[in-house]
Amino acid sequence: MPSDPSQQLYEDPSTVSYYAERQDLLFSEEAMLRIARNHITGGRVLDIGVGAGRTTPHLMSLEPASYTGVDYSASMVENCRKRFPALDFRVADARSMPGFESGSLDFVLFSWNGIDSVDYEGRESVAREVFRLLRPGGMFAFSSANGRNLPPRPWTFTAIRNMGIRPSLKGLIYGMIQWSAGLIHFLKLRTHEASHADYSIRVDQAHNFKLLRCLVNPAQQKRQLLRAGFADVTAIDREGQQQNPDDPAFVSCPVCYICQKPTS
């Protein structure tokens, strides 16, 4: 997997504008924040992969004692600073954040499958770094694609259906142009795809096949978090229901994970 293949995409002004239009919580995020509420209200909160600030108002509505948003896209951070000038936003890489003290946070969020944009070793680093930053009893919540549910290829019915092509001549022409562009993007990135025992690298349909994701199945994701030192790993499906990550039938995508740093 190339180093940070999504970073250039997330620096693009059109991508920033796309995310700036998104304001609502997605899938099971509402359930995730409800579970974490006691760690957020009056707590010290870090919002990783903050993007254009979609999650910022939702976290601020729970009245944390402090809030900091970070992203490795300088363009995204600049957008957040303009939208929320009174809040603290920084350019930072979640794999290593020396600007934050160990044990200084109560709650860390990494939303919208942002963790999938780093490779498998990077995910390990993110988990260890978040563990370092949390106080004993602190909580980490994030969303991730389900490695048991691989993204569709451009030529499949699922991918074409996901494009939402309108049933009109203009819609069909536009759809064919978009599909052709997506196929080109896919072919450029396909050489970076890989399959391993613990994870796979796949081109995702997001942004018309411009994004590589590191996909981990829920059982392996649980083991990764436990290796980093976390406990009480909970997996929540897209409907907000808790699921057993070790169950092979659990294929819902995306998955929200919640875990805690032990108190001792």
Assess contact for 10 and 239: CB atoms under 8 A. no
Prior bond of 254 cis (ω within 30°) = yes
From first CA to last CA, the distance across the chain in angstroms is 37
Assess contact for 200 and 186: CB atoms under 8 A. no
Q: What is the pLDDT of residue 245?
A: 95
Reported as type and span, the H/E element at residue 246 is none
What residue ranges of the chain have pLDDT lower than 70?
1-5
User: Coil, strand, or helix at residue 17?
Assistant: helix
Query: 204 forms bridges with which residues in the sheet?
Result: 211
Widest CA span in the chain: 64
What would the pLDDT profile of 28-57 be if each residue is shown by its tens digit?
A: 899 999 999 999 999 999 999 999 999 999
Report which DSSP code applies to 65. Answer: S
Assess contact for 261 and 233: CB atoms under 8 A. no
According to CATH, the superfamily of the domain at 7-146+218-260 is Vaccinia Virus protein VP39 (3.40.50.150)
Q: What is the pLDDT of residue 171?
A: 85
Query: 257 forms bridges with which residues in the sheet?
Result: 142, 235
Reported as type and span, the H/E element at residue 45 is strand 44-48
**Spatial distance between the Cα atoms of 128 and 226, rounded to a whole number of angstroms:** 10
Q: What is the pLDDT of residue 4?
A: 58
Nearest to 211 by CA among 195, 188, 237, 194: 188
**Spatial distance between the Cα atoms of 164 and 160, rounded to a whole number of angstroms:** 7
Assess contact for 198 and 204: CB atoms under 8 A. no
Q: What is the pLDDT of residue 5?
A: 60
Q: Which two tokens stand for residue 67?
A: 């809030």
Specify the pairing of strand 134-144 against strand 105-110.
parallel
Nearest to 43 by CA among 133, 128, 167: 133
Q: What is the pLDDT of residue 2?
A: 45
Order of strands, sheet of 105-110, starting from the edge strand that comes earlier in the sequence: 88-91, 66-71, 44-48, 105-110, 134-144, 255-260, 231-236, 242-243
**Spatial distance between the Cα atoms of 196 and 203, rounded to a whole number of angstroms:** 15
Question: In sequence order, which residues have a C-beta less than 8 Å from that of residue 142 and are 6 or more positions away?
Answer: 48, 109, 110, 111, 114, 115, 256, 257
Q: Where are the domains of the chain?
A: 7-146+218-260, 157-209
